[in-house]
């Protein structure tokens, strides 16, 4: 559970590179990543996606202040947690080994595990999402 947030913090901190400015404010690559992923997340599930946007924005605000060495350490430690958790406890490979879309779905799963917005989550929903069917379409 802790691995994915650490990985996200590491990535967002490392990508906190201003690429342009708007109204005197820097627009960083990490902020654009948060917005892009939020678009996918809200397409998959509106409520959970909006909560993920809020959580990712809070992580972004903290991670952008970190020195790059700490961001690299968070990224590496997060992956160590992921592989130890999957190897020692779950006894199966991470889902993204078979489908890279799970790199986006994984953080949603962790957030939902914490706040319980959706009761029935899991692989069947994420497999449907990969085929282009959003969660809202299935529940209409």
Assign 79 to helix, strand or coil: helix
Total domains in the fold of the chain: 1
* Domain housing 101: 3-138
Q: Strand (E) positions, 4-117?
A: 18-22, 25-28
Average pLDDT over residues 78-102: 79
Question: Between residues 118 and 15, which one has the greater pLDDT?
Answer: 15
pTM of the model: 0.76
Tell whether the model's pLDDT for residue 30 goes beyond 90. yes
Burial label for 92, CB within 10 Å (0-12, 13-18, 19+), is exposed
Tell whether the model's pLDDT for residue 74 goes beyond 60. yes
Residue 104: its pLDDT value, please?
Answer: 80
Q: Could you give the CA distance from residue 140 to residue 137 in angstroms, rounded to a whole number?
A: 6
Instruction: Tell me if 120 sits within 8 A of 89, measured CB to CB.
Output: no
Assign 32 to helix, strand or coil: helix
Mean pLDDT of the chain, nearest integer: 83
Q: How confident is the model at residue 124 (pLDDT cuts 50, 70, 90)?
A: very low
Phi, psi of 50 (to 5 degrees): -65, -40
């Amino acid at each position: 559970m802790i691995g994915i947030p650490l990985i996200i913090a590491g990535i967002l901190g490392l990508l906190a590179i201003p690429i342009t400015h708007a109204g005197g404010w820097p627009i960083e690559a990490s902020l654009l990543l948060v917005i892009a992923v939020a678009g996918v997340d809200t397409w998959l599930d509106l409520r959970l996606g909006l909560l993920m946007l809020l959580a990712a924005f809070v992580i972004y605000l903290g991670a952008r202040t970190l020195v790059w060495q700490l961001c690299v350490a968070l990224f590496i430690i997060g992956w160590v947690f992921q592989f130890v958790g999957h190897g020692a406890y779950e006894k199966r490979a991470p889902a993204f080994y078979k489908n890279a879309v799970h790199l986006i779905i994984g953080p949603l799963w962790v957030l939902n595990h914490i706040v319980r917005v959706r009761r029935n989550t899991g692989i069947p929903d994420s497999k449907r999402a990969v085929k282009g069917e959003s969660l809202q379409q299935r529940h209409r």
